[in-house]
């Protein structure tokens, strides 16, 4: 099972801080997302791109004070540049793989459904707004469903390139969609809208529900 976002780095990427970061296993087989996302895409996107970010990150932190930091600590303290970019892309991609699941999609149930309807009026309105944000994002980046701890609302935000919502403490990520072209070019060429249509068939609402409850649980423990 996937660990709450604020615990992801220590629990998944390293057994202990003195060890190198490792590429997390996918939570499903590489062909499990077909026909929406092909095994060939997973071979390149996960097996090459994601793996390269992990390799680059290990090379960048070796023999520096950052080698003893968690992934989240690096993301939140690094200046813009290669260290931040590779660390954030390692985290973003792992969160993305867990935002997908075979035999998923459709409309959510439970608390995540209630929050979406409360804040957007209907699931269809939310779906349209999310797709508009993701397809309209200029160049590479990410579209996110987050819980805003200040407004107590679920919101749709986008980040550019390797940008991640982890750098904004008011945002708690619930789901993400990768809109870098390498996420969909093999299957859909430059037709990002077709990729978004496929993405909706794979959305892991159980993961989003888990993340939402984790935020509530964290708040309960602090109160």
Q: The whole model's pTM is what? A: 0.92
* Residues 123 and 107 sit within 8 Å (Cβ to Cβ): yes
What is the bridge-based pairing of β-strands 154-160 and 171-178? unpaired
> Which sign, positive or negative, has the C-alpha torsion 17, 222, 4, 162?
negative
What is the biggest distance separating any 2 CA atoms in the chain, rounded to whole angstroms? Answer: 52
Rounded to the nearest 5 percent, the helix, strand and coil shares of the chain are 55, 10, 35
Q: What is the pLDDT of residue 216?
A: 85
The per-residue pLDDT for range 117-153, each reduced to its tens digit, is 999 999 999 999 999 999 999 999 999 999 999 999 9
- What pLDDT was estimated at residue 18? 57
Give the whole-angstrom CA distance, residue 60 versus residue 74: 11
pLDDT at residue 17 in the model: 57
In this prediction, residue 188 carries a pLDDT of: 98
> What's the mean per-residue pLDDT of the chain?
92
78-97 pLDDT tens trace? 999 999 999 999 999 999 99
CB-count burial class (<10 Å; 0-12, 13-18, 19+) for 53? buried
**pLDDT band per the 50, 70, 90 thresholds, residue 3:** very low
SS3 11: helix
Confidence of residue 163 (pLDDT cuts 50, 70, 90): very high
Residue 12 pLDDT? 44
Long-range contact list for 38-41, CB < 8 A, 24+ apart?
A: 38/186, 38/187, 40/186, 40/187, 41/183, 41/184, 41/186, 41/187
pLDDT tens-digit series, residues 5-26: 444 433 344 544 557 999 999 9
Banded model confidence at residue 222, pLDDT cuts 50, 70, 90: confident
Q: Is the Cα dihedral 167, 90, 40, 205 positive or negative?
A: negative
Q: Which residues contact 90 (CB under 8 A, 6 or more apart)?
A: 13, 21, 50, 53, 54, 57, 71
Q: Which residues pair with residue 177 across a beta bridge? A: 143
Q: Comparing 1-10, 169-178, 197-206, which segment has the lowest mean pLDDT?
A: 1-10
Residue 8 in contact with residue 94, Cβ under 8 Å? yes
Show the CA angle centred on residue 192, arms to residues 191 and 197, nearest 5°: 105
Question: Which pLDDT band, with edges at 50, 70 and 90, does 186 fall under?
Answer: very high
pLDDT for 177 equals 98
- Position 10 scores a pLDDT of 34
Comparing 222 with 46, the larger pLDDT belongs to 46
What pLDDT is stored for residue 11 in this prediction? 39
């Amino acid at each position: 099972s996937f660990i709450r976002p604020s615990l992801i780095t220590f629990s998944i990427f390293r057994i202990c801080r003195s060890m190198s970061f490792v590429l997390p296993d996918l939570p499903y087989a590489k062909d499990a997302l077909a026909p929406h996302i092909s095994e060939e895409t997973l071979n390149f996107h996960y097996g090459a791109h994601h793996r390269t970010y992990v390799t680059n990150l290990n090379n960048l932190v070796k023999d520096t004070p950052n080698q003893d930091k968690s992934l989240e600590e690096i993301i939140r303290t690094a200046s813009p540049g290669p260290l931040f970019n590779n660390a954030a892309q390692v985290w973003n991609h792992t969160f993305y793989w867990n935002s997908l699941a075979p035999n998923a999609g459709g409309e959510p149930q439970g608390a995540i459904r209630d929050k979406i309807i409360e804040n957007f009026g209907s699931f269809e309105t939310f779906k349209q707004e999310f797709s508009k944000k993701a397809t309209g994002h200029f160049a590479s980046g990410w579209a996110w469903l987050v819980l805003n701890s200040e407004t107590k609302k679920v919101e749709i935000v986008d980040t550019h390139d390797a940008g991640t919502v982890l750098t904004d403490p008011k945002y708690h990520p619930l789901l993400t969609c990768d809109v870098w072209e390498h996420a969909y070019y093999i299957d859909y060429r430059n037709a990002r809208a077709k990729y978004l249509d496929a993405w909706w068939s794979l959305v892991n609402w159980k993961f989003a529900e888990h993340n939402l409850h984790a935020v509530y649980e964290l708040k309960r423990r602090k109160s």
